Chain A
Amino acid sequence: DAGVTQSPTHLIKTRGQQVTLRCSPKSGHDTVSWYQQALGQGPQFIFQYYEEEERQRGNFPDRFSGHQFPNYSSELNVNALLLGDSALYLCASSRWTGGLSGANVLTFGAGSRLTVL
């Protein structure tokens, strides 16, 4: 059973460019969350998608946008890249239980490491 898969694994961009990162959730999962992890820091919540809608968003600017497709896969787009956007971008999937039986326990992919020069 494949877990969460992310692509690309590594990429290098220059300031001002745009990037698209992709994520396929674990089989049976319907919710996708994106996190940014800077070096030596814990993951920071960017946003969460469920039923193709952005359900909640963290403290990230509008340059960060996303999409969820009918097959539950997801994309993270970052426009006008800044040096500070260099980080590991983690996709995490979960199965929404309606909030009645515990927290959304996350299954993470290995991440996409973005370097902005």
Chain B
Amino acid sequence: QKEVEQDPGPLSVPEGAIVSLNCTYSNSAFQYFMWYRQYSRKGPELLMYTYSSGNKEDGRFTAQVDKSSKYISLFIRDSQPSDSATYLCAMTEDTGGFKTIFGAGTRLFVKA
């Protein structure tokens, strides 16, 4: 069983739709949860970063962490064609956890 599970998609939505991306994990030591966005032929770039459980909002993006269910989500409101990319969830343990574990990534296509 992988430490982090993420549906690879692809997920295709019309412009303006609300997008929901999700990951589950098995390691209860994970404390930091990130979402990275990766465009084709580019390296991943950080979108959101949360610590422990709770919600965090940044513009059209909202990240949610439910540690009791070992489940994290990223919501994108008013999706745009420029949001078309691969979204990677990532996690790391608390102090001393140097390595970041990534999900497989979900490919998102937003149609104009």
Decide: B102 and A4 in contact? CB cutoff 8 A: no
B89 to chain A, nearest CB (A): 8
Decide: A90 and B44 in contact? CB cutoff 8 A: yes
Decide: B99 and A48 in contact? CB cutoff 8 A: yes
Decide: B32 and A55 in contact? CB cutoff 8 A: no
Q: Please, what's the 1-or-0 string for B83-111, where 1 marks a CB less than 8 Å from any CB in chain A?
A: 00000101010111111111111000000
CB-CB under 8 A from A42, the residues of chain B are 4, 6, 88, 90, 102-105
Decide: A103 and B43 in contact? CB cutoff 8 A: no
Decide: A90 and B98 in contact? CB cutoff 8 A: no
The answer to whether the Cβ of A41 comes within 8 Å of any Cβ in the partner chain is yes
Binds A, one of B45-53, B54-62, B67-75: B45-53
Chain B: interface residue total (CB-CB under 8 A): 30
For the residues of A in contact with B, the DSSP-based class is loop
Q: Which of B14-67 contact A (CB under 8 A)?
A: 31-32, 34, 36, 41-46, 49, 51
Nearest to B30 among chain A residues (CB) is A103
Decide: A102 and B34 in contact? CB cutoff 8 A: no
Decide: A45 and B43 in contact? CB cutoff 8 A: no
CB-CB under 8 A from A58, the residues of chain B are 99
CB-CB under 8 A from A102, the residues of chain B are 32, 49, 51
Chain B: residues with CB nearer than 8 A to chain A? 4, 6, 8, 31-32, 34, 36, 41-46, 49, 51, 88, 90, 92, 94-105
Q: What are 16 sample pairs from A and B whose C-beta atoms fall under 8 A apart?
A: A33-B99, A41-B104, A42-B4, A42-B103, A42-B104, A43-B102, A44-B102, A45-B100, A45-B101, A55-B98, A104-B100, A106-B100, A108-B36, A108-B43, A108-B45, A110-B42
